[in-house]
Amino acid sequence: MNITHLKIVEEEKTLSPVQKEFNRLNAHIEKIRKDIEILPAKIKIMRDFQFEKLNPVKEQQQKLKIEFLKKLDFMYETTKLTSNQKKDLANIILDDANELNIVMQHHPDIIEIKEIQDKYSKLLYTETELEQMKSDEKGILKSISELFFGLDMEGFEDVPEEEYEDFFREKVGEKITEEQEEQEYWKAFQQNFGHKTRKNAVQQKREEEKKAESDASLKTLREVYTDLVKKLHPDREKDEKLRLEKTEQLKLVTEAYERKDLATLLVMQIQWLQQTGKDPKKQPDDVLARYNRVLKMHITKLEQEYRELLRRPLPFDNNFESFHMLKKTERAIRNALARQEREMKMELDYNESRFVRIQKVSGLKQYIMKRVAEVNMDDSFFLNMLTSGRF
């Protein structure tokens, strides 16, 4: 149910400050409600585009990456290269296999990926080095989990790699339970402590103001409810059609009163005034001021609801932040998604052309040189970051 703000634009200069604020608050509420109402349509646009446009390209990318890995493995076995080129290519294959092993755990070709990963791990490292690398990786995972997520990682040293995910899930659950229990403890402690200690003058004043505001809201709630019941009571209506309409309206009024929804009652009261030809602007300023206080509270509630809806995870796999995307207009969302599709297709086209080139010896050697240069560039970048103290 929308609040209809005052139909007096041509008389804006004659409005009192309270009436002007009333108009402004109503307009703000209508905007937030409209934003909330169009969220499902925006999500549908994103979901449909994801399924119809982005997912097919993503599947092509994954398929090409797997074929690329297999082709590099084949070229390693069949192409004449120098010992350094062989070693560089083996490192490239292992890096790509490690990446695919992480992001394609449930892919049908994961077994082949793991076989290639094991093959080049054993080719490049001794058993002792592999064990040390796994131990180092495990130590890093443990440190990150403890330092950044506050997880209790005791016993992680003895967990097999295939059980990492279950172990993490269990520890995250324990952490959430622990935080909830701690919050409940401190909440109870503060409540009990608050009863036993004297409050300072500022705290007492705030509590008194809060209580007065609550009392005023309840008083207004009862007044508006009583007024609407008198106006909408169906027993006073002789026309059967109007009697049914008032019966439904009275039901809504009662439901709003029972859940202490003063904003909805005010909306109905304002609309009733307009339906009966009475201009809400002629309400006394003290009445409008009371309306404005409630409307501000309602705006706060609506804004919180809108933020929570924005932060809700989307019901599909997305490569963008829903919070920022959903705040855009539908046209801007379509443009952003189309841009993402173009970028994905450009990347796919580029990788397809590389796939063709590596099947020739000259193209393979150029590819190896470029990948090595990229790795060296990344290493140089991170080294500069570390030495400059920016980490």
CA dist., res. 90 & res. 76, Å (int)? 8
pLDDT tens digits along 98-144: 888 877 877 888 899 999 999 999 999 888 888 888 787 778 778 88
**237-257: pLDDT as tens digits:** 778 888 888 888 888 888 888
Cα-based distances in Å from 172 to 156, 279, 284, 315: 13, 58, 57, 22
Residue count (the chain): 391
Q: What is the pLDDT of residue 213?
A: 59
In a domain, 180, yes or no: no
Amino acid identity, position 13? K
Distances in whole angstroms, Cα of residue 147 to Cα of each of 150, 151, 174, 335: 6, 8, 16, 40
Who's near 323: CB < 8 A, 6+ residues apart?
Answer: 310, 311
Question: What confidence score (pLDDT) does residue 246 get?
Answer: 83
Longest dimension (CA), the chain: 100
Return the pLDDT at 380. 60
The mean pLDDT value for 260-289 works out to: 72
pLDDT > 90: percent of the chain = 28
Cα distances (Å, whole numbers) of residue 191 to 184, 197, 213, 293, 310: 11, 10, 21, 28, 33
Count of H-run helices and E-run strands, the chain: 14, 0
Task: Note whether residue 207 is domain-resident.
Answer: yes
Contact 22/291 with Cβ under 8 angstroms? yes
Q: Is there a domain that residue 253 lies in?
A: yes
What is the percentage of the chain residues whose pLDDT exceeds 70? 79
Q: Provide the domain limits for residue 232.
A: 200-283
Residue 65 confidence (pLDDT) above 70: yes
CB 151 within 8 A of CB 172: yes
- Band of pLDDT at residue 5, cut at 50, 70 and 90: very low
Distance CA 229, CA 256 (A): 12
Residue 194 resides in a domain: no
CA angle 280, 266, 306 (to 5 degrees): 115
Is pLDDT at 337 greater than 80 in this prediction? yes
**If we measure between CA atoms, which residue out of 350, 386, 357 comes closest to residue 75?**
357
Establish if 99 belongs to a structural domain: no
Number of separate domains in the chain: 1
333 assigned to some structural domain? no
Residue 6 lies in a domain: no
101 occurs within a structural domain: no
